[in-house]
Amino acid sequence: MTFFDIARRNVTRHWLRSTLAVVGIVIGVIAIASLGIMGNSIGLMFENMVSDVGDTVIVSPATGVGGGKLTERQVSDIARAVGSNDVIPFSSTADKISVGDKESAAMIYAIPAGDIPSLLEVESGSYPKDTGGGCLIGSQLAANSRENGLKLGARVRIGGETLRVVGVLKERGMGFDINPDYAIVVPYAWYSSHYDEDDYDQAIVKVRDVNNIDAVKESIEQKMNRREDTVAVMDTRGILESVFAATESITIFLAGIGAISLLVAGVSILNVMLMSVTERTKEIGILRSIGTRRSEVMRMFIYEALLLGLAGAVIGGALSFGTGYVVTALFAGNADYLFHPTSLLYIAFGMGFGVFTSIASGLYPAWKAAQLNPIQALRHE
Amino acid sequence: MPVISFEHVTKVYPLPAGDVVALDGVDLAIEKGEFVLIMGPSGSGKSTLLNIMGSLDVPTSGEVTIAGKKISRMSDDELTLLRRDHIGFVFQQFNLIPLLSVVENVEYPLILKGGQNGSRERAKEVLRAVEIAETHFTHKPSELSGGQQQRVAIARALVNDPDFLLCDEPTGNLDSKTGTAIMSLLDRMNREEGKTIVMVTHDPRMTEYADRTIRLVDGRVVE
Ligand SMILES: Nc1ncnc2c1ncn2[C@@H]1O[C@H](COP(=O)(O)OP(=O)(O)OP(=O)(O)O)[C@@H](O)[C@H]1O
Ligand SMILES: [Mg+2]
């Protein structure tokens, strides 16, 4: 028999009241864990969707200057500024396409044929040439339009001219530069003659060494924007960082809402423990009169709070796997995120916070019990 | 050297309606092995006296020496340890811990001293000495009769081998036959084990067990 035993017996003696207190902690732990997991899964989903590894600098025309296009001259200036790094200029448009008698619309990216391989990977087939009327289709477009006949080798009409699909692209995911998964990629030469255009929408600079990103940006700025801002220079790493910072703060916000529900549970533990102290005033008087020290009385009550907290944390932690599964499946569309280490960390955090809240709520009642005057406590009925 | 000595002990309870003087300049000494009764009318300060003897309370003025230690400047912890290690309490209302079984109640003071080894055996031994049947050891106190509960309480008071026992009307809640049995148990502890006993009572018949009687009136010792 120890103080812990006595605490355990007290908790089980009033099992209904203890159960209610534990339920509060359970709900709090589940709230923290599932909301944390939810935010985290949304972040992970984003991370998975975004293909960029942060090695890209995107150069766009400064708004309002030169009709919002990059000229051939500007592109070669940029190429000179970035040295040996690849510069891939492109344009994009949306247009009607038709395969056989089936008509639809698609995003069309135009990239100089020679630059395509340094930006995009082909899953099947080959890369198109500047001449010869070949084009590439994105992986999702290919997957979605197979019944329509849009597949490798098919003929697709874009604005009255027929191109042949010579390759299907590998899935690329969401990017900050281009999103070719649902699009058609054509050689810029064909686009230029077909749409009668010589300028580009944007230019992508692939930086070989990510450590040089800032230097590359700087040298583009130096070259292009010396007199007035003709281009805007962004790097995807910076964009990525701010996106991830945003998802992180969403997660913290959600977990914070969970923490509030745990605070409510803490108040209920405080209440249960204060009730327990009042009820057991006489018993505390007995314990004190036969030589139990204040610190020992305090320990007994803190153990009770600890037991309630542990029970709540363990049950809540176990149930969090269930609710975590539901929220990840619901909000991130992929329940695998539940088993990601950071998701599991939120369960552990919820459990830890549950135990902490219980003990913190038990401190005042325990202190109150320890401060009781033994004689007055003995007289209490 | 006396086990307990009081020098000009005064206890005043300050109340809004005016101070209540519960003890008024009490001098006394309890020698080792004595069986002393404390008698007096209701409100004369008997319980107050006993509580101070038991270091549950401290005097307003005067000095109290318990087991050779002056208590006036002791901290709460020191007073508690004094109770734990030197004093056995027996109350009118038995005051067993409802959560613990009979044997655990008796074992509890040993646990407080941190002695796990053989504490259960020692508790059983003392329970046998106060004539509690083995079958009752694992029962809860509420399942025992009043007389049995008081025997368990006496066992708990004795288990740490205290310097003295303090009993506040230990037979007050018992019928006269059971009360007599408890008295002869205390008497036996005093005569055979040499236990020092101080007992508050209203019952004049108890004087036959005692070596002497201290009479209190209005917080003063009268002869
Ligand atoms: N905590 C307290 N606060 C205020 N007054 C108190 C307190 N305890 C005792 N008193 C007063 O001190 C006096 C002595 O009380 P005490 O309990 O010592 O009497 P007693 O002799 O034990 O009486 P009884 O025979 O009824 O038990 C009484 O007047 C009582 O009202
Ligand atoms: Mg009294």
Hey, whose CA ends up nearest to atom 30 of ligand 1?
B43
Are A217 and A247 found together in one domain?
Answer: no
Count of structural domains within chain A: 2
Shared domain for A99 and A9, answered yes or no, is no
Buried b (16+ CB within 10 A) or exposed e, A271-294: bbbbebbeebbbbbbbbbbbbbbb
Going by pLDDT thresholds of 50, 70 and 90, the confidence category of residue B4 is very high
Structural domain that includes position A299: 3-49+241-379
Which residue segment(s) compose the domain that B52 sits in? 4-222
**Ligand 1 pocket residue status of B214, Cβ below 6 Å:** no
CATH assignment at residue B132:
3.40.50.300
Dist. CA B51 → ligand 1 center (Å): 11
From residue A163, alpha-carbon distances to A128, A198, B25 in Å are 10, 20, 118
The number of the ligand nearest the C-alpha atom of B39 reads 1
pLDDT digits (tens, 9 = 90+) for A180-211: 889 999 999 999 888 888 899 999 998 888 78
Q: Is the pLDDT of residue A66 over 60?
A: no
| A195 lies in the same domain as A133 | yes
**Of A3-12, B134-143, B172-181, which one has max mean pLDDT?**
B134-143
Looking at residue A365, its pLDDT comes to 96
Boundary of a domain, candidates A185, A204, A235: A235
Residue A79 sits in the same domain as residue A223: yes
Give the chain A residue nearest B106 (alpha carbons): A290
* Predicted local distance difference test score (pLDDT) of residue A67: 66
**Least confident window among A92-96, A293-297, A354-358, B8-12:** A92-96
Residue A118 confidence (pLDDT): 86
Q: Are residues A59 and A186 in the same domain?
A: yes
- Boundary-marking domain end, from A205, A235, A265: A235
Chain A: residue nearest B85 by CA? A291
> B56 and A294: CB-CB below 8 Å?
no
Of B56, B81, B98, the CB nearest to A289: B56
B67 to chain A, any CB pair closer than 8 A? The answer is no
Per-residue pLDDT band for A51 (boundaries 50, 70, 90) equals low
Considering the domain architecture, whether residues A87 and A207 belong to the same structural domain is answered as yes
**Does the beta carbon of B18 sit less than 6 angstroms from any atom of ligand 1?**
no
Say how far apart CA A166 and CA A189 lie, in whole Å: 16
State residue A161's pLDDT score: 86
Tokens representing B204 are 């004049």
Cβ atoms within 10 Å of A71's Cβ, excluding its own: 16
Domain boundary among A235, A256, A283: A235
Lowest mean pLDDT across A217-226, A292-301, B46-55: A217-226
Q: How far is A3 from chain B (nearest CA, A)?
A: 9
Check whether residue A91 and residue A226 sit in a common domain.
yes
The average confidence (pLDDT) of chain A is 88
Looking at the fold, whether A65 and A45 belong to one and the same domain comes out as no
For chain A, say whether B181 makes contact (Cβ under 8 Å): no
What is the number of domains present in chain B?
Answer: 1
- Other CB atoms closer than 10 Å to residue B122's CB: what's the count? 17
The span from the first CA to the last CA of chain A, in angstroms, equals 26
Are residues A194 and A253 both part of a single domain?
A: no
Domain co-membership, A93 together with A225: yes
Nearest ligand, CA of residue B202? 1
Distance CA B59, CA B65 (A): 11
Q: What is chain A's alpha carbon radius of gyration, rounded to the nearest angstrom?
A: 33
Shortest Cα distance, chain B CAs vs residue A14, angstroms? 12
Residues A227 and A162 reside in one and the same domain: yes
Say whether pLDDT at A145 is over 90: no
Q: Are residues A65 and A211 in the same domain?
A: yes
pLDDT tens digits for range B188-207:
999 999 999 999 999 998 89
Query: Is B24 exposed, middle or buried (CB count within 10 Å of its CB: 0-12, 13-18, 19+)?
Result: middle
* Percent over 90 (pLDDT), chain A: 37
Q: Is the pTM of this model over 0.80?
A: no
